[in-house]
Amino acid sequence: MSSLKTWVSRSALAVLLSGSAFAYAGNQKEEALADSVRIALARAVTDRQPPTPQFSDIEERIKYLKWLGEMSERLKKKLTDEQVRLEFLRTAWYEAKRAGLEPALVLGLIQVESAFRKYAISSVGAHGYMQVMPFWTRVIGDGDRSKLFNMQTNLRYGCSILRMYIDMEGGNLYLALGRYNGSRGRPEYPNAVLAAWKRWEYSRELTAALK
């Protein structure tokens, strides 16, 4: 883990100073999946529970509310409408936690993939915030690619797919991120996401520095 932190911190400095977004459009590759993996993934994306967080105690709820306020402050230049911004952040937090991912990682990936543009379409046809390739709607959904422009649907697909890739790579996030982008083994995309992840970590000091 220490080597991962070193790798992240080295890549993060330019992002923290510039605040600019990378442009590495998603291009996940369609590949054969075991039936058990495909069925589990299909169940993950079709569960329609609303993004309502559950907390074990009041301290956890307070921490979540502080996170929400801080992230909203950081994101206001990208998503200027407060209601849209808060809905996005609540959904991103919920879907990240649901998939066993860090919300900061998911936000970093979205920054790199779409710069927080809901209707982004890449040159290879990836859709929405997390630049999900439309073939996934056929493999694990109902085939309606237009649903990838729905906020929760897009985030659910993206988080579920990233979780699957992490599991496929035995927990190796570097390789999983490369697989998500269709560039497995190349450093540019994982480095960009890991640097952006640092930008979205929960820290009031970082919020002040980014203003």
Question: Rounded to whole angstroms, how far apart are CA atoms 199 and 206?
Answer: 8
Render 49-86 in DSSP notation, one character per residue.
Answer: -------SSHHHHHHHHHHHHHHHHHHTTTS--HHHHH
Name residue, tokens 């040159």.
123
Measured in whole angstroms, how far is the alpha carbon of residue 105 from the centre of its chain? 6
Q: Please give the pLDDT value at position 6.
A: 43
Residuewise pLDDT in 10s, the chain (211 residues): 444 444 444 443 333 333 333 445 556 777 767 777 788 888 878 766 666 777 888 999 999 999 999 999 999 999 999 999 999 999 999 999 999 999 999 999 999 999 999 999 998 899 999 999 999 999 888 899 999 999 999 999 999 999 999 999 999 999 999 999 998 989 999 999 999 999 999 875 554 444 5
130, burial (CB in 10 Å: exposed 0-12, middle 13-18, buried 19+): buried
Question: Rounded to whole angstroms, how far apart are CA atoms 128 and 150?
Answer: 8
In this structure, the chain runs to a length of: 211
Question: Rounded to whole angstroms, how far apart are CA atoms 162 and 181?
Answer: 10
Q: Other C-beta atoms within 10 Å of 175: how many?
A: 17
- DSSP secondary structure letter of residue 202: S
Tokens of 185: 């083994």
What share of the chain has pLDDT > 70, as a percent?
81
Name residue, tokens 């990378």.
22
Measured in whole angstroms, how far is the alpha carbon of residue 44 from the centre of its chain? 16
Q: Please give the pLDDT value at position 46.
A: 77
- Using a cut of 0.75, tell me whether the model's pTM lies above it: yes
